Amino acid sequence: MVSRRILGTMTFIAPLALLVVIWGIVVPVFQVNPQIFPSVPAVVQAGVNSILNGTLLMHVGASMGRVVLGTVLAVLVAVPLGILMGISKGVSDFLTPLLRFFSVLAGIAWIPIATLWFGYGFGAIVFVIFNGVFFIVVYNTLLGVSTIPMSLRNAAASLGAGRWALFTEVLLPGALPNIATGVRTGLGFAWRGLIAAEMIATNVGLGYMLFVARDFYQTEVIVFGMIVIGTLWLLIDRLLLAPFERATIERWGLVR
Amino acid sequence: MKTLSLQNLSKTYYDLYEGSHHTALHDISLDIPAGEFVSVVGPSGCGKSTILNMVAGFIPHSGGEILVGGQPVKGPGRDRGVVFQSFALFPWKTVLDNVGFGPKMRGVPKAERDEIAREYLAMAGLSHAADRYPNELSGGMQQRVGVVRALANKPDVLLMDEPFASVDAQTRMTLQDELSRIWEERRPTVLFITHDVPEAVFLANRVVVLSKGHVLADVPVPIERPRVWDKLVEDDAFKELSNKVLALVRSA
């Protein structure tokens, strides 16, 4: 089991490592202008510098704070709403067209108006994250509730569960695998939206770090930032979101 | 345990395709005295599961009355415990927490409801499975949990909807033996729906044969208890009665 996991990780990393090797050869061989694309040592140096002077931590901290807050708020609103839509056809029929419309806009289309409402910075970006996560979690929660067998709801009711107990004991845990999928997918979109929003509407964060480096032709900072953005997402997804999703689906799935 | 009484019960559906009302059940009257085990048999589509779903309060009835201990039924309630064909165990709860669910809904504290659940699990020989999750158990074990989960909530009436239809034949006979034993120990009032005639006869005090939405026959089962398959499988009285009921079902 353990060796299979290591093998899996190696298989995943190998193509990325190969890309770095090619990069390490191509840049010096063709004497690429550092204002077009940086060399491997320059990027490593930029990375070390940003770690030592604390700017990386500052940017990552700012970005992560926004992601966590935006996601938590979105999930807190989206899950009850999705469950309500799952048990009431009336609510679902009324809200579905609205959600359809606004889910198209989710993401950076909200930035102009969000900056007018919340000003540049934290609030506007959290709002963008919220939008990215919210709609997809609503849909997945709705889907999750609809996959709960009617017999489970009937069983709970005949054992004496009232409305609140039905929500906490059956609908919420029953929809959890789909909610996990929704959060994972939504965060994937929100992460992309975050970087875009940070380029426009703030003065700290990973997106801002990239954007400001451009003004000084610091391609090594830009590329380092891109590597951080990609790596951070892969770590969050592989170490946090995917295992959570898998754990819920494994326990629940076999029974369905 | 209380009586279950169905009085002139009927169910009509509105058929969307035909644009007319369709009668699934008409004028079903049936009295089950407290502590009696009644099986309802009939061919597919005769309305037997519809009866159970109405008694459980899962679907509304169109006419007549359902009384539990003289009180009319309105929606699902803990006075009527239900055992489902699909088991309907909560996959995210351990066996212990599944069985303790009813007591939990009554506000019984954790330690006390665990004790209740363990007592009932022991009754079905499931003590070792308390901390397992449903998907780790065989179908037969899952349905044992389903039965004790319903019983642990001390319902007035136990409703069983083809509970053993989705387990293999060997396990089914073991479960029937066990249910018979548990019924003799606790004497719950049981409404048992099945399409399996020998099962219906083996378990019940009376077998009701349903046909096209009405009661075709109500057959008493005077076979002495305790009943176990080892004895009954070659018993002439049992075989004769089973054949009689089977003939009624086939004529239905």
Residue A250 binned pLDDT confidence (cut-offs 50, 70, 90): confident
Q: Say if B75 is an interface residue toward chain A (CB within 8 Å).
A: yes
Q: Say if A247 is an interface residue toward chain B (CB within 8 Å).
A: no
Residue ranges of the alpha helices (H) in chain A?
Answer: 2-29, 40-52, 55-87, 89-105, 111-118, 122-147, 150-158, 163-166, 172-200, 206-215, 219-236, 242-253
Q: Which of A158, A169, A176 sits opposite B80 (nearest CB)?
A: A158
The one-character DSSP state at B222 is -
- pLDDT of A133-177, one tens digit each? 999 999 999 999 999 999 999 999 999 999 999 999 999 999 999
Quote the pLDDT of residue A1: 58
Confirm whether the ipTM is greater than 0.90.
yes
Quote the pLDDT of residue A253: 56
Quote the pLDDT of residue B205: 97
Gyration radius (Cα) of chain B, Å: 18
Helix (H) or strand (E) holding B115: helix B110-123
Q: From chain B, pick out residues whose CB is under 8 angstroms from the CB of A165.
A: 105
Fold of the domain built from segment(s) A56-253: MetI-like fold (1.10.3720)
- Does pLDDT of B138 surpass 80? yes
What is B145-202 written as a DSSP string? HHHHHHHHT--SEEEEESTTTTS-HHHHHHHHHHHHHHHHHH--EEEEE-S-HHHHHH
- Asked if B75's CB is within 8 angstroms of A157's CB, the reply is yes
Nearest one of A96, A90, A124 to A203, comparing CA atoms: A124
Asked if the bond preceding B226 is cis, omega within 30° of 0, the reply is yes
Q: From chain A, pick out residues whose CB is under 8 angstroms from the CB of B105.
A: 159-162, 165
Give the span between the Cα atoms of A137 and A19, in whole angstroms: 35
Q: Say if A161 is an interface residue toward chain B (CB within 8 Å).
A: yes
Q: Say if A166 is an interface residue toward chain B (CB within 8 Å).
A: no
Quote the pLDDT of residue A106: 67
Average pLDDT over residues B126-133: 95
- pLDDT of B12-57, one tens digit each? 988 778 778 888 898 899 999 999 999 999 988 888 999 999 999 9
Q: How many helices (H) and strands (E) does chain B have?
A: 9, 10
Quote the pLDDT of residue A254: 44
Looking up tokens 């699909």, which residue turns up?
B86
Q: In this prediction, what percent of chain B has a pLDDT beyond 90?
A: 86
- Asked if B82's CB is within 8 angstroms of A170's CB, the reply is no
Helix, strand, or coil here: A234?
helix
Whether residue A127 contacts residue A108, with contact meaning beta carbons closer than 8 Å, is answered with no
- Return the residue in A158, A164, A171, A244 with the most chain B beta carbons within 10 A, the one to mutate for interface testing: A158
Beta bridge partners of B113: none
Q: From chain B, pick out residues whose CB is under 8 angstroms from the CB of A156.
A: 90, 101
Q: Which of A155, A251, A256 sits opposite B88 (nearest CB)?
A: A155
Helix (H) or strand (E) holding A31: none
Give the span between the Cα atoms of A57 and A158, in whole angstroms: 54
Instruction: Locate the chain B residue with the closest alpha carbon to A171.
Output: B90
Q: Which of B82, B91, B92 sits opposite A154 (nearest CB)?
A: B82
CB A106: neighbour CB atoms within 10 A?
Answer: 21
- Asked if A251's CB is within 8 angstroms of B92's CB, the reply is yes
